[in-house]
Amino acid sequence: MNIDEIIKINPSLNIKKVTDESFLEYGRVLKGIDCKDIVKYAETNLEMLEKGTKYTASVKELEDFPIKDELKSKIYGGLEIQIGSCLGKNNSLTGFEYHQGSETVIAVTDLIIMVGKLRDMKGNDYDSSNVETFYVEKGQIVEMYSNTLHYTPCNSDEKGFINLVVLLKGTNTPIEKSDNKILTKKNKYFIAHPSRTDKIKSGAYPGFIGDIPTVKLI
């Protein structure tokens, strides 16, 4: 299914390409960085799930590619970074997270991201009516700024999505209990939709309020 078809059957989401000028409030598409080799490796070696999604914070084989040093230098100011993967099948947004430092994503397949602005949070709550939706094409490298709320992408077809995730090293790793109710892992500030009782039982704050944005594929 191509972007025009997805837009047609999802009018309420107002899906735009990540190259649209409106995305500049959330991040930018990186140019001049070659990701062909790492994308080819991921296509061949990362196994798609039958259902659900899986996130791995750091994958050594991905971090061995030269693009890691290039991103470390050009995007992260020489700070240590990690490259992980997020893949599977997902069609809805049931939470939001943000980090200190940009999250850079490398699209191994076409995928759909839903984003929001940190400034629109009221305390620890966020109204889902403010979410914006963007289409990312395979091979695009997208930097999302640290004040951009985001979460697991949605797939653009029934096959699922594969996304490589670049973050400051140590992000999304276990953390001792914090006084900050939305700090759930190192450098991961997360709020869940009240329907995600699994996340809430694990300690997530139910601050993602409103209807659940959902992508229709048929």
What domains, with CATH codes, occur in the chain?
3-169 (2.60.120.10)
pLDDT of residue 218: 72
- Please give the DSSP secondary-structure letter assigned to residue 179: S
Q: Percent of the chain, pLDDT > 70?
A: 100
Alpha-carbon distances, residue 141 vs 24, 27, 100 (angstroms): 14, 11, 19
pLDDT in tens, 33-89: 999 999 999 999 999 999 999 999 999 999 999 999 999 999 999 999 999 999 999
Stretch 136-150: mean pLDDT, rounded?
99
- pLDDT score recorded for residue 62: 99
**Structure-token match 């602005």, residue found:** 117
pLDDT at position 217 over 80: yes
Distances (CA, A) of 36 to 29, 106, 177, 204: 16, 10, 40, 37
Q: Is 136 helix (H, G, I), strand (E, B) or coil?
A: strand
Q: What is the pLDDT of residue 67?
A: 99
Calculate mean pLDDT across residues 7-23.
97
Tell me which residue has tokens 């598409």: 29
Indicate the pLDDT class of residue 1, thresholds 50, 70 and 90.
confident
61: left (phi over 0), alpha (psi -120 to 50) or beta: alpha
Rounded Cα distance, 15 and 25, in Å? 15
Give the whole-angstrom CA distance, residue 188 versus residue 33.
27
pLDDT recorded at residue 174: 95
